[in-house]
Amino acid sequence: MRILVTGVTGQLGYDVVSCLKERQLECIGTGSSDFDLADADAVREYLMQYRPDIVIHCAAYTNVNQAQQEQERCRAVNVDGTRAIALACRELGAGMVYISTDYVFPGDGTQFYETDDRKNPQCVYGRTKYEGEQAVQEILEKYFIVRVSWTFGAHGNNFVKTMLRLGRERQEVRVVDDQIGSPSYTKDIAAVLCDIAVSEKYGVYHLTNEGVCSWAEFTQEIFRQAGIGAKVIPIPSSEYPTPAKRPLNSRLSKRCLDEAGFARLPQWQDALARFLKELS
Ligand SMILES: NC(=O)c1ccc[n+]([C@@H]2O[C@H](COP(=O)([O-])OP(=O)(O)OC[C@H]3O[C@@H](n4cnc5c(N)ncnc54)[C@H](OP(=O)(O)O)[C@@H]3O)[C@@H](O)[C@H]2O)c1
């Protein structure tokens, strides 16, 4: 079995390739120097040469704020690029895993979103990721859509790294406390993602570490575990305006994971402890 993983230079793709290699599965990881997702011919050519049995499509245009200004580029990468991957998978008879996001949901309320709940993305990035999901569903029968959220990993920029830096530079840090979600370690995601990818239990999944918190609570725990003395000042989102609207509710139900018999991920605090150890 040959597996191609896009986005190997990013947080999740790196950990997915490491996990596949640990399991001694034949795989290759690609970044934007291998092909530009916005170039459909280049995508097809690369996939036809490698001829994977499965593609785990982690790569994406991920700069959520910049996407508001660069809508066309974001759509070319996240929608057209995903479509190009799905078309090549269909031609090859390969399975596809598409990594998506909590941003496909409207982000209101306090409920845990089920995989098939109403979608209503609130920003350009979220819309393009949702259109990517739709392209995969239109083109393929053998597909997985796996939505992740609030990710942190050793290979890329993320909230934990930013807070570690700010906490060491400042006496106090203002962090929003009305956006709720599940911080998720890409190593933990990668482990179950690999189980899902090699199964034939096609469908839509949510994959995050267990437990929920606000960004402010997450920061408090980062500082506590890292021994940083800076004070966390909780603020509402209205005091931290961003170009892209962020979901207040990113709670994702893991019912589909349970029903398919896949393991749930550990609690986010446990994941954070292992991540801080990996960083050090
Ligand atoms: N980070 C989060 O909190 C979060 C939350 C929900 C969902 N997700 C989803 O999870 C997946 C993985 O995210 P991540 O955090 O690992 O992303 P990341 O660290 O930003 O990495 C993005 C990857 O995509 C590649 N890429 C970007 N533009 C490309 C292009 N035009 N052509 C080819 N490759 C391109 C990058 O390659 P180069 O480095 O070579 O440019 C890089 O390997 C994405 O699908 C994202 O939408 C992330």
- Taking only the tens place, the pLDDT of each residue in 166-207 is 999 999 999 999 999 999 999 999 999 999 999 999 999 999
**Domain-located, residue 175:** no
Q: Which of 4, 5, 6, 12 to mutate to test the pocket of ligand 1 (most atoms within 8 A of CB)?
A: 12
Q: What is the pLDDT of residue 226?
A: 97
And the tokens for 65? 């704020």
pLDDT of residue 273: 98
Residues with CB under 6 Å of ligand 1 are 7-13, 31-33, 36-38, 58-62, 77, 99, 101, 129, 148-151, 156
Residue 187 sits in a domain whose CATH number is 3.40.50.720
Q: How far is the CA of 40 from the centre of ligand 1 (A)?
A: 18
Smallest Cα–Cα separation from 45: which of 6, 90, 88, 89? Answer: 88
Tell me, yes or no, whether 280 lies in a domain: no
* Mean pLDDT of the 223-249 span: 95
Which pLDDT does position 232 carry in this prediction? 98
Write the CB contacts of 230 (distance below 8 Å, at least 6 apart in sequence). 166, 167, 168, 170, 171, 172, 173, 223
Pocket of ligand 1, candidates 32, 55, 97: which has the most ligand atoms within 8 Å of its Cβ, to mutate?
32
**Domain range for 57:** 2-158+183-211+251-266
The answer to whether position 198 is within a domain reads: yes
Confidence of residue 123 (pLDDT cuts 50, 70, 90): very high
Q: How far is the CA of 33 from the centre of ligand 1 (A)?
A: 13
Any catalytic annotation for residue 125?
yes
- The three-state secondary structure class of 9 is coil
Q: From the CB of residue 229, how many other CB atoms can be counted at a distance below 10 Å?
A: 8
Asked if residue 42 belongs to a domain, the reply is yes
* Active-site option among 98, 125, 143, 185: 125
> Would residue 40 count as lying in a domain?
yes
Position 162 scores a pLDDT of: 97
pLDDT band at 245, cuts 50/70/90?
very high
Q: Average the pLDDT over 31-39 and give the result.
A: 97
What mean pLDDT value characterizes the chain? 97
How many domains does the chain contain in total?
1
> Ligand 1 centre and the CA of 7: distance in Å?
6
The pLDDT, as a whole number, for residue 155 is: 94
Please indicate, yes or no, if residue 235 is contained in any of the structural domains: no
pLDDT digits (tens, 9 = 90+) for 41-86: 999 999 999 999 999 999 999 999 999 999 999 999 999 999 999 9
CA of 99 to the centre of ligand 1 (A): 9
pLDDT of residue 17: 98
From CA 7, how far away is CA 60, in angstroms rounded?
7
Q: Who contacts 21 (Cβ-Cβ below 8 Å, separation ≥6)?
A: 27
Provide the pLDDT for residue 188: 98
- Name the residue among 26, 24, 56, 66 with its Cα closest to residue 186: 56
